[in-house]
């Protein structure tokens, strides 16, 4: 509706094209492209970025929106616990690879760039240490819910540390994280029955998909947030995140850990 050229980067191309057609049905003039991207695979991230850059398009807004939730223990193609790999590491790598394009766009146009990480209120329910760096792929200590919370905590820490680095560099790009709310989507597929029962007793708090998208759009587009960076939003308002999420040392440690992990996986 704002006239943006939208790239839908998706693992499931069929579902992405269905979303594209649904948008075009309501807006004939919408500019939408679908590109394949599986965030659980660093090779897929590399291939997507290569394809996107070949389009020679500007990049003003990046919304890191992919996710898996409460899945049984499994490893990604790169041998990383799946929730951490998909929800955090893939976004971390993707964002780093696209930063030069965002910097180039904002320098050339003078328009503020914005990066939005979709986190969750579940970032409060994580392992005792916040991020279990030494047991990221340990099967014995794995908890599907705490591993999800850990990955959502990582989304906020990533946004905060990137925000700090860009501000230090003097780059006109903001980075924020959001909790979209409780939404019944395919994200719930690994705990569908439990979530249905949970929804029965908490229905008043659940949102439709458009309502769930509102805070992401707010963080990505609203003029009132010009220059606002390193914040956490819920229901289109700034909210206080957990103590772990505002721990600058933990954010730096996660950044270094993630960068070293990506580097080691790219070499192997």
Catalytic residues, by residue number, are 142
Q: Which residue has the tokens 């440690």?
A: 253
Structure tokens at 135: 């047991």
Angle at Cα 84 formed by Cα 44 and Cα 77, nearest 5°? 40
> Which strand (E) or helix (H) includes residue 24?
helix 13-26
Q: Helices H, strands E: what count in the chain? A: 8, 9
Structure tokens at 253: 């440690």
Structure tokens at 111: 């328009």
Question: How many other C-beta atoms lie within 10 A of the C-beta of residue 63?
Answer: 18
């Amino acid at each position: 509706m704002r006239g943006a050229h939208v790239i839908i980067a998706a693992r499931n191309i069929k579902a992405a094209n269905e979303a594209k057609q649904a948008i075009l049905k309501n807006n004939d003039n919408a500019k939408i492209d679908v590109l394949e991207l599986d965030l659980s695979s660093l090779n897929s991230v590399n291939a997507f970025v290569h394809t996107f850059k070949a389009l020679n398009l500007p990049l003003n807004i990046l919304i890191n929106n992919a996710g898996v939730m409460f899945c049984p223990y499994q490893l990604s193609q790169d041998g990383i616990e799946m929730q951490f790999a998909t929800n955090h590491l893939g976004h971390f790598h993707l964002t780093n690879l696209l930063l030069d394009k965002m910097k180039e766009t904002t320098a050339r146009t003078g328009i503020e760039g914005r990066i939005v990480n979709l986190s969750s209120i579940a970032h409060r329910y994580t392992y005792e240490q916040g991020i279990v760096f030494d047991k990221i792929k340990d099967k014995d200590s794995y908890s599907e819910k705490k591993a999800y919370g850990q990955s959502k905590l990582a989304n906020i820490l990533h946004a905060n540390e990137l925000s700090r680095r860009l501000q230090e560099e003097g780059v006109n790009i903001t980075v924020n994280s959001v909790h979209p709310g409780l939404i019944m989507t395919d994200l719930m597929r690994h705990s569908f029955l439990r979530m249905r029962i949970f929804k029965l007793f908490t229905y008043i708090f659940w949102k439709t998909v458009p309502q769930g998208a509102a805070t992401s759009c707010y963080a990505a587009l609203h003029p009132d947030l010009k220059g606002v960076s390193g914040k956490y939003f819920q229901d289109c308002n700034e909210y206080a995140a957990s103590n772990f999420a505002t721990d600058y040392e933990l954010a730096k440690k996660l950044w270094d850990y993630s960068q070293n992990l990506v580097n080691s996986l790219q070499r192997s």
